[in-house]
Structure 1
Amino acid sequence: MQSSLYEQFFNTQSKDQRIALWNGCGTLEKFTLGNQCYVAKVTQVPLDLQHKNIKQTSFSLKRKVRSYEKEQLFYKQCADVLKDVCIVPKMFELHAERGIFVTLLEDYEAKGFINKNTANIEDINKVIEWLAHFHTTWLEEAQIHSQFEEYGEGNYWHLKTRPDEFEKMPSGLLKENARRLDVALTSTRYKTMIHGDAKLANFAFGSKGVIGYDFQHVGVGIGLSDVMLLLTTVLDSEGLEKHCELLLDKYFQALTTQLNRNQSAIVGKDVENDWRALWPLIWVDFHRFLAGWKPEHPKINDYMKAQSAHMLIKRRSLLTC
């Protein structure tokens, strides 16, 4: 009887490459069997996890464990749905036991995809199209999303999962309006499954397009929160001022095209009207997280501060419970 890939992985003495994951939470291990190249993502959250920006609590440790559970849930339930929509790594096997998670995937580098440390506008547009296709797959009216209740909200900065950072925030308009922001963002008409950590480092580029991975923070949310996070990793304040509106146009064009291709009953323009109004709120909400997590973070730039000032001072009427 042939052993499972999981057993073969642990019996393979020589690994092609081993890469440490965030803060001692595991490794990525590349290995080859026959002509196939694989990646094993082996994760376990240390009980003594240390982080320089915030003291770890039992709540934050559980959140980290939950992120690995969500990633495996995504590969089990959702990855196959994306086969003809956007590219994600092929999953071979999933294992979870006593807090250790092993996710066995194809090696995307062996398929010709490469990571980039910087991105030009063409690269950004490719990722934005990937995101639009990903979001369109699960785009629904908010009240219908009961099928994804087990995932909870997507992204890693929403208020309900960041009480420690909230407590660290200095007094001021950001902290005073945090809960109003959360209500405004969760009361939107349209929601979808979002990637939740759509930074440049979680995409790779090849002749066949873009591949996205690292689905630890998937969940229900607003598609533009993924777009916002992507832009914080590829554009500085001046670039954001210059390119944001055109990139949003690109996103909604791709989303509408895909909705029409899917013969969806949802009208792209309705989604655009709903989400565009939330664009500054999404920035302010991320600002709120950074202000409690790492207030000196370079992402708190002039563009982000302008969005906050616009919403918290000039348009406070939108932040109503």
Structure 2
Amino acid sequence: MKQEYRDLVLRCSGASSLRIGARIQTLWSGYGQIVRLHLEGCDRPSVVVKHVQFPAEAEHPGGWNTDRGHARKVRSYQVEAHWYRNFSTEPGCRIPACLEACSHGDEMLMVLEDLDVAGYDVRRTSVKEKEMKACLSWLAHFHALFLGVPPEGLWPVGTYWHLETRPDELEAMDDAELKAAAADIDRVLNECRFKTIVHGDAKLANFCFSQSGADVAAVDFQYVGGGCGMKDVVYFLGSCMEEKECEKKVPGLLDYYFTELRHSVKKDVDFEALEEEWREMFAFAWTDFHRFLLGWMPGHWKINRYSKRLTKEVLSKLKQQS
């Protein structure tokens, strides 16, 4: 780590010295890394640093190495830094505190609270209903907090699979009917009366759990932006359940999300209208992500009968409306 970055971490944390610890992960497509730094002489034993370094040549796991893809990733890190500098949440939707977020040429540095130290030290690759409900509660509090808040400095439309930012994947699709309907599905979602700020990448891997599994915090805000809260909900549910589980558990989990949302929104919100609209948007949001997967990685495990059934329902509704 460059001396100027070490100095920056010492300055913003108030530490007298630091030691570079373990690399937590490498960023997608080789765009840098996340490391833990151990501190001395301050009230924080450690911080987590997200160190972004834009590569001369990206290595995308799926082979999607394009100038458009690079520009999207660069913008995503700019959005994330803006998010940490300018937005804050509440205990019901815990995120790491940001000590510093800055750019130096083709590098960026975000110095964040170490959530492990704060008690969110468990990562899960599979979850039971309690953990799923903890994440859905987080999303409900997050969506309620930012309901009606304009996404200034963020993505105008959040989520990493947003149609406008994914023309290459749309072009690669074989499903002609869904391909033709993609713009209409996007329009329906964008014309929602009730908009919030969505996390944009609310998969299971981006939640940090307490030991009990009852409390969570979320990380990775590269694709945070405006939109319908159902986008986060469908992406989360699809990240931790296969098709048979979806058929069985989604209705109850969706009810739980809306119960949490009702308790979290301000009293002047017409909640009945909000719930009616967002329940209608559930299948549209699921189909929107299904559309992305078909173009991006047509062999993906999330392309299943549950997704295809919802897509069929949405396409039928669009035909009736036209």
Q: Fold-level match, TM-score > 0.5?
A: yes
Task: Tell me the secondary structure at the aligned position of residue 297 of structure 1.
Answer: coil
Q: Distance in 2 between matches of 1:131 and 1:285?
A: 19
Mapped partners of 1:245, 1:319: distance in 2: 25
Alignment match of 1:280 (pick from 283, 296, 307):
283
**Aligned residue for 2:98?**
91
2:214 matched to 1:205? no
- Alignment check: 8 A CA contact 1:151 1:219 kept: yes
Q: Say which is worse superposed, 128-137 or 82-91, in terms of deviation.
A: 82-91
Q: 2:317 aligns with which of 287, 296, 315?
A: 315
**For residue 251 of structure 2, what is the amino acid of its counterpart?**
E
Q: After superposition, where does 1:232-247 map in structure 2 within 5 Å?
A: 232-247=238-253
Q: Which residue of 1 aligns with 2:76?
A: 67
Q: Which residues in structure 2 correspond to 1:1-321 (within 5 Å)?
A: 4-5=8-9, 14-18=19-23, 19-34=25-40, 35-79=44-88, 82-113=89-120, 114-140=122-148, 146=150, 148=152, 150-206=154-210, 209-259=215-265, 262-263=266-267, 265-312=268-315, 314-317=316-319, 320=322
- Equivalent pair of 1:184/1:319 in contact (CA under 8 Å): no
Name the SS for the 1:174 alignment partner. helix
Task: Please give the TM-score of this superposition, normalised by the length of structure 1.
Answer: 0.90
Q: Secondary structure at the match of 2:93?
A: coil
Deviating above 3 A after TM superposition, structure 1's stretches of 4 or more consecutive aligned residues are 6-9, 11-14, 317-320
1:147/1:200 CA distance change after superposition, 3 Å: closer
Q: Quick check: 1:16–1:31 contact (8 Å CA) kept in 2?
A: yes
Opposite residue 126 of structure 1, the aligned amino acid is: A
Separation in structure 2 between the aligned mates of residue 6 and residue 44 of structure 1, nearest angstrom: 21
Matched AA of 2:193: R
For 1:53, give the aligned amino acid: G
Counterpart residue number, 2:3? none
- Are the structure 2 counterparts of residues 53 and 193 from structure 1 closer, same or farther at C-alpha, using a change threshold of 3 Å? same
CA 1:48–1:12 in 2, change beyond 3 Å: closer, same or farther?
farther
Structure 1 residue ranges without an equivalent (≥5): none
Separation of aligned partners in 1, 2:123 and 2:309: 31
Change (3 A) 1:65 1:12: farther
Q: Distance in 2 between matches of 1:147 and 1:226?
A: 16
Q: CA RMSD in A?
A: 2.1
